[in-house]
Chain A
Amino acid sequence: MKDNDLPGPCAGYEFEIVELHEGALGPEQTHRVRAHLEGCARCRDWQAQYAALDASLARALPRLELSADFGARLRERLAGIADPTTRRDLRSVAEREHDWMVRDLRRAARRRAIIGGVAGAAIAGTAVALAYTLGPEALAFVRAAQITIGPAVLGTLGGAAMFGALAWSAMRGMLPGVRLPG
């Protein structure tokens, strides 16, 4: 087989022919490669095939442009997403609010515990003091009241006071020793 029958250009000219086609060679190299091409049918043939393929690929793969509504569709999609510049701020605000809420709840619980303790101690102290002070007189007063008002009325008043206290507690979401749901 003759050298000119081989596919492809002469060794060393392959890349230079491509660069000549793309206009990427300097003046000296351009002159040298052109001189070679004038005298080499095999390289001229390869150059022609390369140029034809290049043109065919350019036709087959034209520069594509986006649809005109691309931007509008993108804006529509992004409208449902929070602004990235504020998402972090919003998150930190939410976290701060949560911290404040927990701190307030703890303060309120401490305050209620202190007040409850003081009130309980006061009531117990008063009861003990009354028991010591009044003693038999208090017992005589209850008996006199039973005789004067009657045991049924006294019991009804006591029961009403007890149910009233329970109802008041239930309205506040609490029963003595029990936390009501909700």
Chain B
Amino acid sequence: MDEGIEQHLAAGRHARAFDLVVPAFQDKVFRLAYSILKDRPAAEDAAQETFVRVWKALPGFDGRAALGTWIYAIARNTCLMELRRRRPTVSFDDPDSDEAHRAAAAVATGPAADPERDNLLRLLETLPHNQQEAVRLFYLEDRSYEDVAEQLGMPLGTVKNLLHRARKRLMELARPDEVKAA
């Protein structure tokens, strides 16, 4: 944790600590939210909500866990609540539904239309959720296993294993004929 943040927290200067917390964690919180929600506007909203919760709860932060671990746990909970909130209204069939707009926005966050990329993202969607999240976060975080482990609250070995299984599965899915032949 940033020493300045630690000192301000220890001295009870929570507002000053928060001023340092936001720039230190905002990008990682946003990318963690994106890896879960797969939608840029929703991920930004979740990041905002996360920091509002951090702001409210910071005076109660007791330092038992690392600050980053605590913030990422709040971010994950915020995203899971958003997913639960969405669930009853999910409708991919309705082109005017919120979910359809989100999906379109998610595809639109990358480079221009690219069938290979779209196909790869579709294959990624077929993986178990924990593997999807690990893969997204790993590439969004410039291939850092340590960052992914910290943000997902998992041991490093678990993250490496998840990623390895996910990429192996993606390779199999990308060449189904060869796998079947084998």
A-to-B contact residues, CB < 8 Å? 1, 5-8, 14-15, 18, 22, 49-50, 53-54, 56-67, 70-71, 73-74, 77-78, 81, 83-85, 87-88
With A1-B182, A22-B143, A60-B110 as known contacts, state yes or no: A85 contacts B12, CB within 8 Å: yes
Nearest B residue to A58 by beta-carbon distance? B139
Residues of A within 8 A of B182 (CB): 1, 5-7
Max chain B C-beta neighbours (<10 A), residue from A49, A56, A62, A65: A56
Nearest B residue to A49 by beta-carbon distance? B171
Residues of B within 8 A of A7 (CB): 171-172, 175, 178-179, 182
Residue B3 CB within 8 A of the other chain: no
The count of residues in chain B whose C-beta lies closer than 8 Å to any C-beta of chain A is 51
14 interchain pairs, CB-CB under 8 A: A5-B182, A15-B164, A18-B167, A49-B171, A49-B175, A56-B120, A57-B120, A58-B139, A64-B40, A66-B30, A71-B23, A74-B51, A81-B55, A85-B15
What string of 1s and 0s marks CB contacts (under 8 Å) between B107-126 and chain A?
A: 00111001011001100100
Residue B100 CB within 8 A of the other chain: no
Q: Residue A84 contacts which of B15, B110, B168 (CB distance < 8 angstroms)?
A: B15
Nearest B residue to A19 by beta-carbon distance? B160
With A53-B170, A60-B120 as known contacts, state yes or no: A78 contacts B55, CB within 8 Å: yes
A105 nearest CB across to chain B (Å): 33
Residues of A within 8 A of B170 (CB): 53, 57
Residue B135 CB within 8 A of the other chain: yes
Pair B13/A85 contact, Cβ less than 8 Å: yes
Residues of B within 8 A of A65 (CB): 27
Pair B140/A81 contact, Cβ less than 8 Å: no
- In the complex, besides A71-B23, A78-B51, 13 extra interface pairs with C-beta distance below 8 angstroms are A5-B181, A7-B172, A7-B182, A49-B171, A56-B117, A57-B120, A57-B139, A60-B120, A61-B136, A62-B111, A63-B140, A64-B30, A81-B52
Residues of B within 8 A of A56 (CB): 116-117, 120
Pair A18/B52 contact, Cβ less than 8 Å: no
Q: Residue B48 contacts which of A14, A73, A88 (CB distance < 8 angstroms)?
A: A73
Nearest B residue to A66 by beta-carbon distance? B30
A53 and B171 alpha carbons, distance in the complex (Å)? 7
A113 and B139 alpha carbons, distance in the complex (Å)? 78
What string of 1s and 0s marks CB contacts (under 8 Å) between B6-27 and chain A?
A: 0000001111001000110011
Nearest B residue to A61 by beta-carbon distance? B139
Residues of B within 8 A of A74 (CB): 22, 48, 51-52
A111 nearest CB across to chain B (Å): 41
Residues of B within 8 A of A6 (CB): 182
Pair B56/A84 contact, Cβ less than 8 Å: yes
Nearest B residue to A78 by beta-carbon distance? B55
Pair A64/B26 contact, Cβ less than 8 Å: no
Residues of B within 8 A of A60 (CB): 110, 114, 117, 120-121, 124, 139
